[in-house]
Amino acid sequence: MPLPPLPGHRLSIVGEATPPPAERGFIFVRGLKMVATFADGTTSATFPYDVADRTRLDAIVIVPHYRGEDGRRYVILRSALRPPVAVRPRG
């Protein structure tokens, strides 16, 4: 079964208060001001969003699964817009 298309929402950073590199530990807080642009072209009011960021990348995957009464294995898939990942600096 194909996955449904992702919603066409986008997040934009319109302001940021992040500690300078010398003051960051492994995990630090980026204080963002954001705007959401929805698939229909409308935008939200500016809203605050705090992101726990890291000086190094990490990753985790959780794969919930179960075996049905018929013996077949089922895997649950979910997709979501994750602001901490969407606003992570690239480079």
Residue 3 lies in a domain: no
Residue 40 lies in a domain: yes
Residue 52 lies in a domain: yes
pTM for the full predicted model = 0.55
The residue segments making up the domain with residue 29 are 10-86
**What tokens appear for 50 in the block?**
């705090």
Judged against a pLDDT cut of 90, whether residue 69 lies above it is answered with: yes
**How many Å apart are CA 15 and CA 70, to the nearest integer?**
53
Number of separate helices (H) and strands (E) present in the chain: 1, 5
Residue 91 lies in a domain: no
Residue 78 lies in a domain: yes
**Residues 10-56 pLDDT 10s:** 999 999 998 888 888 888 898 999 999 999 999 999 999 998 888 77
Structural domains counted in the chain? 1
Residue 43 lies in a domain: yes
